Amino acid sequence: MINTTTELLVVLNKNRGLIEEFFEKRDRDIYLNDISSDENFLEKMDYLVNVGILEMAEEPFTLNDTLISFLENMLETNRRVEIRVIGEDLAYLKEKISDYKNRDLAHKQKEYLRAIKRTLLRINKTIIVGFKVISERVTLEYTTQINYSEKIIELNRYRKKIDELIQAEKEVDRVILKELKFFKNSHNQEVLQMFYLLANTLRELRVSLVELQQTVIEYINKSQEKKAFFEKVLRLRELIKNQEIKQKTDIEVLIQKEKHKKLFIEKQKNFKTQLSLDTVEYYSDDFEERVKRVIVDISIAEKPLNKAPKIDEEILNATEEYSDEVDKYALQRAFRGTSLDLFTFLDNKSYVIEMSLEDKLLIYSQMITLFEREYEYSEKYKEYDNYQVLDIYNRQRG
C-alpha cells in the first residue's frame, strides 16, 4: 500500500499513461484487449492492485473508486453544465439493475453492483455540480454584464437550464423510488449508502431549485426594467441633441427666407371648377357672375393667345439637364463613404448649378431632418459668415 503523498505521486507519474487511459474509460467496463497504453500491463497488474490503483486483478479492470473521485475533484471534469447526461446515466442504471435481476447473469452480479454504485455516485455529483455552477453563473451574469440585452438573453438561457435540472431531479427521484426494494435487498452496504446519499441530495435540491428559479425570474424582470429605462434615456439624449442643432445652427431662420420656401412642401390651393346641376339651379339668379369669378381666380380668363417664341437651336441640342432639385438620398450615399463632417462635405461638393452658402445650409438642414438617426452629433461648431454650423458625422456601425 501507499503510505505517503510522495509515494502516491511517484506511482501516478510512473504509470501516468495507463492511469490516463483507465480514467478516460472509467464509465465503462475495460478488458485486456482495450488496453493499449502499456504492453507490460499483465506484469504490473498485481502491483497496481496492491498499491490501490486498480480495484482487482481480473477482468473487467477498473480504477480504484477513491482514486477516480480524487482525480475528478482535482480536474473538475464536471464543471460543464451537461444536464442531459443525467438521462443517459438513468438509462444505464436501469439496464444494470435489470441485468443484476437476471438469473442467467448471476455470475456477474458483483460487476453489476459496482456499475450501479458508480452510476448513482455520478448522478449525484452531476446534480450537485450542475446546481452549483448554474447558481454561480447566474449571480456573475447579473452583477457583471453591463449590456442589458445580453444579460437578459443569458439569464433566460440559465432559466431553461434550471427547468431542465428540475425535470431531471423529478425523473431521478421516480426511478430510484421505483427500485427501492432492489436497493434494500442488494445486501451491498456501499450501494445502499449511495442510494441514501442521492435521495438526500434530491430532497435538499428540490427547495433550492425553486428558490434559484425565483431569483432568476426576478433578475430578468429587473434587467428588462433597466433596459427600458436606458433606452428612454438614450432617446431623450438624441432628442436633446436634435433640439440643440435647431437652436445653434439658425435652421429656422434660414427656412423662413422667401427664396427657399419653394423647396418645402406646401399645401396647394384647389379650386372647384365643376358645379353640379343642383348647385347651378340653387344659384340660378347670379350663376353667370359666379362663373366669371371662378375663371378669374384660377387665371384662365379669356385672353388673346400669343404664339410661343421660337426655341433656340442651342437649347434643343443641349446635353446637360438642369434642375433646382438636389437628390438628398444620393448625397447621403456619397457622404457615408467619407470621414468628413456633413457641412464640409456639402461645401466641397461639386454641383451642376452654382450653389450659394444659403443653398448649402438649406440642404444641410434638410438632410438632418431626413437622416437624423444615421448621424452622430459633436460639440464643435464652424463659422461660415454669420452662421454657426454644428459638426455632424456618420454614425459608426458596429
How confident is the model over 83-141, as pLDDT tens digits?
778 888 899 899 888 888 886 766 677 778 888 888 898 899 888 888 888 888 888 88
Taking only the tens place, the pLDDT of each residue in 344-355 is 999 888 887 888
pTM to 2 decimal places? 0.46
Kindly state whether residues 116 and 259 are assigned to the same domain.
Answer: no
Kindly state whether residues 161 and 266 are assigned to the same domain.
Answer: no
Exposure of 212 by Cβ count < 10 A (0-12 exposed, 13-18 middle, 19+ buried)? buried
Residue 196 included in any domain = yes
H or E stretch covering 204: helix 189-248
Kindly state whether residues 343 and 198 are assigned to the same domain.
Answer: no
Residue 312 included in any domain = no
Kindly state whether residues 129 and 267 are assigned to the same domain.
Answer: no
Kindly state whether residues 268 and 161 are assigned to the same domain.
Answer: no
End position of a domain, from candidates 205, 231, 257? 231
pLDDT of residue 298: 45
Q: Where are the alpha helices (DSSP H) in 249-340?
A: 251-255, 277-282, 287-297, 313-316, 328-336
Residue 332 included in any domain = yes
Q: 377 phi and psi, to 5 degrees?
A: -110, 120
**Tens digit of pLDDT at every position of the chain (398 positions):** 666 778 777 877 877 787 787 777 776 667 777 777 666 777 777 777 777 777 776 777 777 777 777 776 666 544 455 777 888 889 989 988 888 888 676 667 777 888 888 889 889 988 888 888 888 888 888 888 888 888 889 889 888 988 988 999 999 999 999 998 888 888 888 888 889 999 999 998 888 988 998 998 998 888 888 888 877 877 777 777 777 666 666 656 665 665 555 544 444 545 444 444 454 454 455 555 655 554 444 444 444 445 545 545 554 444 444 434 678 888 888 888 888 999 999 988 888 788 888 888 888 888 888 888 888 888 888 888 878 888 899 887 65
Kindly state whether residues 114 and 52 are assigned to the same domain.
Answer: yes
Kindly state whether residues 100 and 199 are assigned to the same domain.
Answer: yes
Q: At what angle do helices 65-75 and 109-144 cross, to 10 degrees?
A: 10
Count up the domains in the chain and report the number. 2
Exposure of 200 by Cβ count < 10 A (0-12 exposed, 13-18 middle, 19+ buried)? exposed
Kindly state whether residues 258 and 380 are assigned to the same domain.
Answer: yes
Q: How many CB atoms lie within 10 A of CB 314?
A: 7
Rounded to whole angstroms, the Cα distance separating 160 from 154 reads 10
Kindly state whether residues 34 and 163 are assigned to the same domain.
Answer: yes
Grid cell of 376 as nine digits: 452622430
Residue 51 included in any domain = yes
Domain that holds residue 343: 249-300+323-398
Residue 279 included in any domain = yes
Residue 241 included in any domain = no
Kindly state whether residues 89 and 169 are assigned to the same domain.
Answer: yes
Residue 77 included in any domain = yes
**Residue pair 15/38 in contact by the 8 Å Cβ criterion:** yes
Kindly state whether residues 183 and 284 are assigned to the same domain.
Answer: no
Residue 207 included in any domain = yes
Kindly state whether residues 263 and 227 are assigned to the same domain.
Answer: no
